[in-house]
């Protein structure tokens, strides 16, 4: 019988997490370190990135911060070089940064388009490497949309296709490439939604649980894809969306379920 605990153990592995200063990236760095990985924390927010690394070390893990702008090819190349100078190889590479400019397509300027594409799409391509388990960040907006999110959603859909394409190119070398697709997570970036309880509740109602996720719940999916437990998973996008993409609008009319699963 397989040693299932060991399959999830990341002891001795090296991970690079881009976007580690906050939100899903921060929780991913903490999760990977908690499972035994040495974690290089990268983000353009120097202070918060260093705080993430310090928190990992305070909890008994290994972490080192490197300031990196996810939209700049030069910064990502420097990050890769720094990681490889310290370790024989990078076993796990996670990138979570994303940018949305909420405007209709006709309102988008060339500058807006460049910013969204540079961070979401180009930044993901720059981050791809030829080793280990690579995990990018897509979104439910890759398959479900609302006004003002078309450009962002298109970039996230492209990430899912990039993952498939790169998986097909590097699989023969033992490299795995996957993405996560979160829906709504309680993070510092989504804190403004709490100032609009009506909108906050509306989005919660789009899930089958009628609640937002927390970043740790999404990070658990990252940890799975990073581990040997996912050794036969590549080219996939794992939806961590609370059932957002399983239903067409908020669930209604079900107040109590009887023993046979029918409405009572």
Which residues participate in catalysis according to the annotation?
Answer: 152
Structure tokens at 68: 């990196």
| Residue 184 to residues 85, 195, 244, 254, Cα–Cα distance (Å) | 37, 15, 9, 23
Residue 118 φ then ψ, to 5° = -65, -45
User: What sign does the dihedral 24-45-72-127 (CA atoms) show?
Assistant: negative
End-to-end CA distance of the chain: 43
Residue that the structure tokens 């990341």 belong to = 10
Half-sphere exposure of 198 (CA within 13 A, CB side): 0
d(CA 154, CA 93): 23
Contact present, 97 and 19 (Cβ < 8 Å):
yes
Alpha-carbon span 223 to 4, nearest angstrom: 14
Q: Are 27 and 34 in contact (CB under 8 A)?
A: no
User: For residue 216, how many other CB atoms are within 10 A of its CB?
Assistant: 16
Q: What is the DSSP letter of 122?
A: I
Q: List Cα–Cα distances, 246 to 42, 212, 241, in angstroms.
A: 34, 15, 9
């Amino acid at each position: 019988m397989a040693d299932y605990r060991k399959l999830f153990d990341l002891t001795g592995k090296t991970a690079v997490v881009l976007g580690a200063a906050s939100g899903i990236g921060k929780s991913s760095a903490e999760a990977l370190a908690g499972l035994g990985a040495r974690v290089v924390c990268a983000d353009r927010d120097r202070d918060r990135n260093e705080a993430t690394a310090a928190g990992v070390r305070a909890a008994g893990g290994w972490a080192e911060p490197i300031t990196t702008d996810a939209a700049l090819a030069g910064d990502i190349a420097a990050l890769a070089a720094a990681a490889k100078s310290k370790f024989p190889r990078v076993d796990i590479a996670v990138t979570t940064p994303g940018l949305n400019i909420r405007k209709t397509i006709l309102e988008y300027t060339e500058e807006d388009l460049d910013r969204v594409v540079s961070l979401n799409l180009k930044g993901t391509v720059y981050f791809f490497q030829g080793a280990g388990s690579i995990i990018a960040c897509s979104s439910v907006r890759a398959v479900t949309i609302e006004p003002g999110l078309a450009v962002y959603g298109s970039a996230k859909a492209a990430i899912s296709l990039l993952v498939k394409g790169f998986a097909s190119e590097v699989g023969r070398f033992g490299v795995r490439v996957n993405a996560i697709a979160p829906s709504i997570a309680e993070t510092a970036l989504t804190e403004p939604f709490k100032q609009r309880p009506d909108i906050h509740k509306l989005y919660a109602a789009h899930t089958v649980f009628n609640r937002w996720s927390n970043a740790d719940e999404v990070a658990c999916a990252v940890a799975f894809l990073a581990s040997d437990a996912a050794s036969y998973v590549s080219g996939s996008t794992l939806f961590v969306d609370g059932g957002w993409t399983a239903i067409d609008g908020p669930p209604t009319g079900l107040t109590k379920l009887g023993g046979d699963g029918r409405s009572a």
